């Protein structure tokens, strides 16, 4: 076994790897950038090294040498599936805790991977063939396959750069967008096109291979609950598969791993028609540990990170099969804000300081997290903050436990999707196991809270009054007491001007009773008791309940009117903190309604800023590479006189 392992990653996966290293008595070494100097993985590691970028092989290898590491764990993301990094580690005498560089290279090229596993007898999705296809060749392949088709980066994963195209008329624009995102995420804009299977299920098989020729599968994970091709909930096992199909898919995954000389932990992903589970197709192989590996660990009793270490140290696998016991479900907690626009829901990256943190615990609950109270969540990296995993003897128990755990998850200061996930898991279709990869997108609008509950405003108003009330004892200035007292008359109720971002401001008069105990506020309103997690913010109060959170701020209508007049109704503002990556217009240019003007990126997500109406760009205050804050004015489009009454086009 190794003495010291460098973890070439950050966040919750780095913390999770450290946990296994500690249990094995192996010294852990972390790396961190300036933005992560105070991160949890740095605090938890035995030692750490400052670097400029998690994407620099040279820096990571030097860091490993500086702490005397014998091995490097790449985690997932960043350079985890980078063959050049694996070779750089080998050249430096370091053991890369992953498969050989040749296997990474082969399976990292989705085009070559499909050809390789097809030759091994594994069924693949119909699609384009050949590498380095031009836009014209991709278009031709799409026409031959017939819409709908899916554009996919050959070098990528995690849903980034993928585009579902149902209309060939928009294919050129979608190809351009997919190439841009693929180049930015993976440094390679090569694309392929595949037939899209409507209402498919995404099922993957975990494999483990040693250096002695042994390959075993550890059952499947159902990953069909996705948003924009990005997994948000995963479970093991799948309710769709019977034992015969499970074994057939498992054997196909083993053959796929053998076909590329795989060693270590990896995942073979399949797309499966829900109406015919036996008609499964290979999609890709992820040559690393998966985000959702905890659900497999819980149903097998294996520590996959431990087995990555043991296999890399030369140990043979002592088992040829592993039984699955019980059921496990994982939910990914991400820093994001949901905004509803018609039937569409946009999930925009969130950032800020975690002012109150409560992570769930209890029977069957596991939390893998990179958070601590007081940490700063920025927009430089992926939005996933933590994972909440529930285990039970059956699926129904695991679901109940996970929903309760999400209800008990409190992250105040940064918007998260915990409440959204809790409601998603409560859908009848999810309870019945009737899943497909489009379910979340179809149901999303109904899973985002509408109006702010009255008890939220009530509690915020009572907290504001409580903060103004003098402490007991000694003389009290009667004019300092928020009592609504008036000379010669009856008390006038105090009116609070309040606003929750994304909602209209309200004037609210409190009538309930508040009891405060540290970070918990209990409000009784009309005989009903409401309990909130609470933390102060510079602008007001942060309240949390059942996985949801609200930032209730004081509102000055006079100042707000002045701000609106200054920016103008024609101003386009940043919907999230991030970086401007593309500017498609210039001052003085005439633009059409809905025309794309800028692209803002945060946490590897792009958001297109479009013209709200036809008109002329009169201000453009940013350029490519500019860092912007949420609600910062980016551009102003003066409407054409004839179009001044037209409806605005939502961003």
Q: Once rounded to an integer, what is the mean pLDDT over residues 230-243? A: 96
Flag whether pLDDT at 343 surpasses 90.
no
Flag whether pLDDT at 377 surpasses 50.
yes
Q: Once rounded to an integer, what is the mean pLDDT over residues 578-587? A: 90
Q: Are strands 230-236 and 191-195 parallel, antiparallel or unpaired?
A: unpaired
- Give the pLDDT confidence score for residue 561 in this predicted structure: 66
**252 class by beta-carbon count within 10 Å (0-12 exposed, 13-18 middle, 19+ buried):** buried
- Give the pLDDT confidence score for residue 348 in this predicted structure: 87
- The Cα–Cα gap between 315 and 612 comes to 62
- Give the pLDDT confidence score for residue 324 in this predicted structure: 97
- Give the pLDDT confidence score for residue 479 in this predicted structure: 62
Q: What is the pLDDT of residues 26-70, one digit of tens each?
A: 999 999 999 999 999 999 999 999 999 999 999 999 999 999 999
Sign of CA dihedral 29, 33, 38, 41: negative
Q: Once rounded to an integer, what is the mean pLDDT over residues 625-642? A: 84
Per DSSP, the residues of 104-144 read HHHHHSHHHHHHHHHHTT--B--B--SSS--HHHHHHHHHH
Maximum alpha-carbon separation in the chain: 93
- Give the pLDDT confidence score for residue 631 in this predicted structure: 75
Highest mean pLDDT out of 147-151, 217-221, 278-282, 618-622:
217-221
Percent of the chain with pLDDT over 70: 93
- Give the pLDDT confidence score for residue 647 in this predicted structure: 41
276: left (phi over 0), alpha (psi -120 to 50) or beta: beta
Which 3-state string (H, E, C) describes 303-324? CHHHHHHHHHCCCCCCCCCCCC
Q: What is the pTM assigned to this prediction?
A: 0.85
Q: Once rounded to an integer, what is the mean pLDDT over residues 390-400? A: 98
> Which uninterrupted H or E stretch holds 561?
helix 557-567
Q: What is the pLDDT of residues 531-573, one digit of tens each?
A: 999 999 999 999 999 999 999 999 888 776 655 454 555 788 8
Which of residues 612 and 320 earns the better pLDDT score?
320
- The Cα–Cα gap between 266 and 257 comes to 8
Nearest to residue 258, comparing CAs of 208, 219, 218? 208
Contact 534/463 with Cβ under 8 angstroms? yes
pLDDT confidence tier of residue 331, bands split at 50, 70 and 90:
very high
Which residue reads 């860091």 in tokens? Answer: 63
Q: What is the pLDDT of residues 353-376, one digit of tens each?
A: 999 999 999 999 999 999 999 999
- Give the pLDDT confidence score for residue 473 in this predicted structure: 65
Evaluate the omega torsion of the peptide bond into residue 237 and state whether it is cis, within 30 degrees of 0.
Answer: yes
Identify the structural domains of the chain with CATH numbers, from first to last. 4-97 (3.40.50.20), 126-195 (3.30.1490.20), 200-447 (3.30.470.20), 449-468+495-555 (3.30.700.40), 567-643 (2.40.50.100)
Contact 522/515 with Cβ under 8 angstroms? yes
- The Cα–Cα gap between 346 and 338 comes to 6
Quick one: angle between helices 418-425 and 439-447, nearest 10? Answer: 110
- The Cα–Cα gap between 595 and 591 comes to 6
pLDDT confidence tier of residue 282, bands split at 50, 70 and 90:
very high
> Average pLDDT over the chain, rounded to whole?
91
Q: What is the pLDDT of residues 91-138, one digit of tens each?
A: 999 999 999 999 999 999 888 999 999 999 999 988 887 778 999 999
Q: Are strands 27-32 and 47-50 parallel, antiparallel or unpaired?
A: parallel
Which two structure tokens, joined as six digits, stand for 378? 């920025």
pLDDT confidence tier of residue 628, bands split at 50, 70 and 90:
confident
Listed in sequence order, the residues at least 6 apart from 65 whose beta carbon sits closer than 8 Å to its beta carbon are 92
Per DSSP, the residues of 235-301 read EES-SS--HHHHHHHHHHHHHHHHHTT--EEEEEEEEEETT-TTS-EEEEEE-S--TTHHHHHHHH-
Q: What is the pLDDT of residues 193-221, one digit of tens each?
A: 998 888 899 999 999 999 999 999 999 99
Q: Once rounded to an integer, what is the mean pLDDT over residues 567-586? A: 82
Listed in sequence order, the residues at least 6 apart from 578 whose beta carbon sits closer than 8 Å to its beta carbon are 349, 379, 600, 601, 602, 603, 607, 627, 628
Q: Once rounded to an integer, what is the mean pLDDT over residues 266-270? A: 98
- Give the pLDDT confidence score for residue 202 in this predicted structure: 97
């Amino acid at each position: 076994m190794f003495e010291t392992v460098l973890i070439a990653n950050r966040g919750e996966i780095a913390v999770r790897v450290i946990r296994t290293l500690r249990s094995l008595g192996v010294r852990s070494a972390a790396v961190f950038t300036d933005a992560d100097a105070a991160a949890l993985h740095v605090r938890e590691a035995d030692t750490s090294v400052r670097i400029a970028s998690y994407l620099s092989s040279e820096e990571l290898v030097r860091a490993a040498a500086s702490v005397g590491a014998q091995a490097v764990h790449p985690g997932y993301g960043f350079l985890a599936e980078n063959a050049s990094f694996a070779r750089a580690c080998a050249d430096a005498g370091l053991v890369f805790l992953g498969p050989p560089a040749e296997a990474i290279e082969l399976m990292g090229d989705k085009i070559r991977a499909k050809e390789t596993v097809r030759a091994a007898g594994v069924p693949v999705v119909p699609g384009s063939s050949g590498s380095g296809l031009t836009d014209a060749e991709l278009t031709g392949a799409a026409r031959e396959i017939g819409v709908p088709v899916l554009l996919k980066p050959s070098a990528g994963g995690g849903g980034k750069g993928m585009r579902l195209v149902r209309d060939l008329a928009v294919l050129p624009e979608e190809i351009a967008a997919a190439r841009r995102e693929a180049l930015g995420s993976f440094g390679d804009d090569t694309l392929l096109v595949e037939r899209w299977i409507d209402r498919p299920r995404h099922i993957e098989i975990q494999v483990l291979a040693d250096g002695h020729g042994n390959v075993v599968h550890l059952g499947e994970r159902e990953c069909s609950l996705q948003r924009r091709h990005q997994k948000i909930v995963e479970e093991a096992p799948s309710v769709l598969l019977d034992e015969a199909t499970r074994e057939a898919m498992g054997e196909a995954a083993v053959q796929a791993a053998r076909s590329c000389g795989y060693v270590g932990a990896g995942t073979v992903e399949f797309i499966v028609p829900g109406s015919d589970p036996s008609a499964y197709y290979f999609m890709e192989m992820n040559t690393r540990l998966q985000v959702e590996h905890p659900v497999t660990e819980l149903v097998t009793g294996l520590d996959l990170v431990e087995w990555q270490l043991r296999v890399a140290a030369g140990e043979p696998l002592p088992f040829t099969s592993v039984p699955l016991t019980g059921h496990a479900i994982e939910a990914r907690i991400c820093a994001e804000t949901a905004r509803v626009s018609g039937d569409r829901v946009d999930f925009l990256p969130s950032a800020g300081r975690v002012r109150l943190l409560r992570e769930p615990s209890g029977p069957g609950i596991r939390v893998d997290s990179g958070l601590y109270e007081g940490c700063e969540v920025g927009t430089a990296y992926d939005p996933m903050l933590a994972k909440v995993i529930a285990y039970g003897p059956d699926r129904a128990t695991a679901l109940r436990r996970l929903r309760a755990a999400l209800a008990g998850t409190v992250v105040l200061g940064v918007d998260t999707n915990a409440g959204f996930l809790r409601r998603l898991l409560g859908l009848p279709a999810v309870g019945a196991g009737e899943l497909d990869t489009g379910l979340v997108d179809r149901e999303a609008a109904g899973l985002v809270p509408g109006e702010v509950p009255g008890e939220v405003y009530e509690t915020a108003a009572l907290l504001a009054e409580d903060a103004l009330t003098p402490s007991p004892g000694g003389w009290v200035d009667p004019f300092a007491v928020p009592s609504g007292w008036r000379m010669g008359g009856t008390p006038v109720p105090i009116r609070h001007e309040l606003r929750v971002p994304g909602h209209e401001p309200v004037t609210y008069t409190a009538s309930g009773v508040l009891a405060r105990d540290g970070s918990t506020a209990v409000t009784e309103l009309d005989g009903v008791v409401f309990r909130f997690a609470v933390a102060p913010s510079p602008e007001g109060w942060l309240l949390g309940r059942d996985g949801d959170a609200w930032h209730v701020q004081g509102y000055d209508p006079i100042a707000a009117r002045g701000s609106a007049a200054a920016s103008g109704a024609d101003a386009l503002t940043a919907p999230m903190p991030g970086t401007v990556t593309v500017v498609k217009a210039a001052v003085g240019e005439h633009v059409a309604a809905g025309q794309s003007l800028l692209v803002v990126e945060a946490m590897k997500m792009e958001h297109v800023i479009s013209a709200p109406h036809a008109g002329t760009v009169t201000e453009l205050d940013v350029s490519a590479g500019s860092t912007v804050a949420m609600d910062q004015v980016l551009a102003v489009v003066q409407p054409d006189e004839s179009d001044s009454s037209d409806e605005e086009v939502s961003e």
